[in-house]
């Protein structure tokens, strides 16, 4: 198959730079990049967030508005952009023929395959896991440079740092409350190595399963680690935070509040759970990942902090930070409470 070159001028390029991506790979590429394939909706969001949304020439199925009813508005601009399909095994031909110059991927993606398959077409692979808050923050300057969107990247970094500051100041000397984090399925939690875990820690919490040590942090089991329910009861968390509602896909379009309430109720109704401190104190929370995962879960960390220490963050305006995130995404601002629920309403 002949490579179809994209829209960049073949002669004068402003410059060529070399950046070091998250995995320490040195990537040399002419900038600004004008065509990119972000390999998951987190990646897509970040590209758009820094103001480079127009460079997206292909998306995966999670950013395809036709396949994601809850995000049909959110990703409306990609309605006519080619869909490369399953992010674990994308259609390389679609990507190659889309004119993309860069494959912008997470580390838990088939990026090695991408290197092998796309290099013949001159497509560069840049690995930045935007779901990982630390990685995202560290790499934002690079990402800005790649797309010639230094200002947008800086604004995003500013948002990130502002939240960081809030967290650092307000959580100073806070007694670390213990948290059981449940990742969508019963008794499935996240452990160190996972961005879900990091978010809890950033938010001032102590993951009751922080002692679990999985060697290979690229393995999926850091994100979805099945535990014995008795261990949860034994560890008696102060707070329970549950991702999602059974069967519902997260997205810009909020869920019916009742569904979140039902999910929380299901948790407290579990046999033997009434003795857990979190259940007893009604500190059971359910969230819609759309808000929680925004900006590499930085918003999530803020949410966690507000839930764990409502007094210390009483005047922190979650809606304002959320709006700063949503604005470059090109959609109307929504209240954070649409995506969050505490037991008892």
Partner 1 sequence: MSSTQTDPYLADAVSGEPGSSRRRRDRYAYQNGAIVLGIAAVIVTALVGIQIGTSGATFGHVLGTFYAKITATPPTERAALQIQNIIWELRVPRIALAILGGAALAIAGTLFQGLLRNPLVSPYTLGIAPAAAFGASLAIVVFGATAGSANIPLVIGALLFSFLNTALVLSLASARNLNATTLILVGIALSQLFGALTACIQYFAQDEVLAAIVRWTWGSVNNSAWYQVLVMFALLALTLPYIRFRSGALNAIAFAGDDSAKSLGVAVSRVRLESIAIAATLTAVTIAFTGIIGFVGLVAPHIARLVVGPNHRFLITFSAIIGALLLVVSDAVGRLVISPGVIPVGIIDALVGAPIFLYLILTRQKAIE
How far is Cα 213 from Cα 231, in angstroms, rounded to an integer?
16
Structure tokens at 316: 């922190």
Q: What are phi and psi of 30, to 5 degrees?
A: -75, 140
* CA 252 from centre of chain: 14
User: In the bound complex, what is the minimum distance in angstroms from residue 337's beta carbon to partner 1?
Assistant: 23
- Of 341, 190, 191, 209, residue with least CA distance to 267: 341
Instruction: For residue 280, give the H/E element and its range.
Output: helix 277-280
Q: Which of 2, 28, 218, 275 binds partner 1 (CB under 8 A)?
A: 275
Q: Give 250's DSSP letter.
A: P
Q: Does 168 bind partner 1 (CB under 8 A)?
A: no
Q: Does 327 bind partner 1 (CB under 8 A)?
A: no
Q: Which of 31, 91, 187, 312 binds partner 1 (CB under 8 A)?
A: 187
Q: What are phi and psi of 212, to 5 degrees?
A: -80, 125
Task: Rank residues 184 and 217 by Cβ distance to partner 1 and give the closer one.
Answer: 184
Q: Does 271 bind partner 1 (CB under 8 A)?
A: yes
Structure tokens at 319: 């809606």
User: In the bound complex, what is the minimum distance in angstroms from residue 208's beta carbon to partner 1?
Assistant: 9
Q: Are 201 and 133 in contact (CB under 8 A)?
A: no
User: In the bound complex, what is the minimum distance in angstroms from residue 237's beta carbon to partner 1?
Assistant: 13
Stretch that binds partner 1, among 7-15, 93-101, 154-162, 181-189 (CB under 8 A): 181-189
Q: Does 233 bind partner 1 (CB under 8 A)?
A: yes
Q: Which of 74, 181, 209, 321 binds partner 1 (CB under 8 A)?
A: 209
Q: Does 247 bind partner 1 (CB under 8 A)?
A: yes
Task: Rank residues 246 and 319 by Cβ distance to partner 1 and give the closer one.
Answer: 246
Q: Please, which residues have CB within 8 angstroms of residue 271's CB and are 6 or more apart in sequence? A: none
Q: Please, which residues have CB within 8 angstroms of residue 169's CB and are 6 or more apart in sequence? A: none
- Of 238, 239, 225, 171, residue with least CA distance to 193: 225
Q: Are 215 and 249 in contact (CB under 8 A)?
A: no
User: In the bound complex, what is the minimum distance in angstroms from residue 183's beta carbon to partner 1?
Assistant: 8
Structure tokens at 41: 């909706």
User: In the bound complex, what is the minimum distance in angstroms from residue 274's beta carbon to partner 1?
Assistant: 8
Q: Does 228 bind partner 1 (CB under 8 A)?
A: yes
Stretch that binds partner 1, among 120-128, 153-161, 186-194, 322-330 (CB under 8 A): 186-194
Stretch that binds partner 1, among 96-104, 268-276, 299-307, 321-329 (CB under 8 A): 268-276
Q: Does 244 bind partner 1 (CB under 8 A)?
A: yes
User: Which of the residues 77 through 96 are near partner 1 (CB under 8 A)?
Assistant: 86
Q: Does 220 bind partner 1 (CB under 8 A)?
A: yes
- For 45, counting Cβ atoms within 10 Å of its Cβ (0-12 exposed, 13-18 middle, 19+ buried), the class is buried
Q: Are 166 and 181 in contact (CB under 8 A)?
A: no
Q: Which residues bind partner 1 (CB under 8 A)?
A: 62, 86, 184-188, 209, 212, 220, 224-231, 233-235, 244-249, 271-272, 274-275
């Amino acid at each position: 198959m002949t490579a179809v070159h994209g829209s960049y001028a073949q002669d004068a390029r402003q410059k060529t730079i070399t950046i070091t991506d998250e995995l320490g790979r040195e990537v040399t590429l002419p900038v600004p990049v004008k065509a990119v394939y972000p390999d998951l909706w987190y990646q897509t969001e970040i590209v758009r967030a820094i103001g480079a949304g127009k460079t997206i020439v292909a998306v995966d199925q999670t950013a395809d508005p036709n396949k994601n009813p809850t995000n049909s508005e959110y990703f409306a601009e990609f309605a006519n952009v080619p869909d490369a399909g399953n992010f674990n095994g994308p259609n390389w031909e679609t990507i190659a023929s889309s004119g993309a110059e860069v494959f912008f991927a997470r580390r838990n993606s088939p990026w090695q395959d991408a290197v092998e398959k796309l290099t013949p077409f001159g497509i560069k692979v840049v690995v930045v896991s935007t779901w990982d808050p630390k990685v995202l923050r560290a790499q934002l300057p690079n990402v800005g440079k790649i797309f010639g969107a230094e200002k947008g990247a800086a604004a995003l970094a500013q948002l990130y740092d502002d939240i960081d500051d809030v967290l650092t100041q307000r959580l100073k000397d806070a007694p670390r409350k213990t948290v059981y984090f449940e990742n969508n399925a019963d008794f499935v939690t996240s452990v160190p190595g996972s961005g879900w875990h990091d978010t809890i820690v950033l938010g001032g919490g102590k993951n009751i399963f922080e002692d679990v040590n999985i060697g290979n942090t690229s393995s999926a089991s850091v994100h979805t680690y099945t535990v014995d329910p008795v261990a949860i009861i034994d560890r008696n968390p102060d707070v329970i935070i549950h991702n999602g509602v059974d069967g519902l896909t997260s997205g810009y379009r909020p869920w019916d509040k009742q569904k979140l309430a039902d999910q929380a109720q299901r948790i407290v109704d579990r046999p033997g759970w009434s003795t857990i401190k979190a259940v007893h104190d009604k500190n059971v929370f359910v969230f819609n990942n759309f808000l929680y995962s925004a900006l590499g879960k930085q918003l999530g960390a803020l949410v966690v902090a507000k839930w764990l220490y409502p007094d210390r963050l009483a005047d922190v305006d979650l809606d304002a930070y959320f709006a700063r995130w949503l604005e470059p995404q090109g959609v109307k601002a929504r209240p954070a409470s649409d995506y969050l629920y505490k037991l008892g309403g």
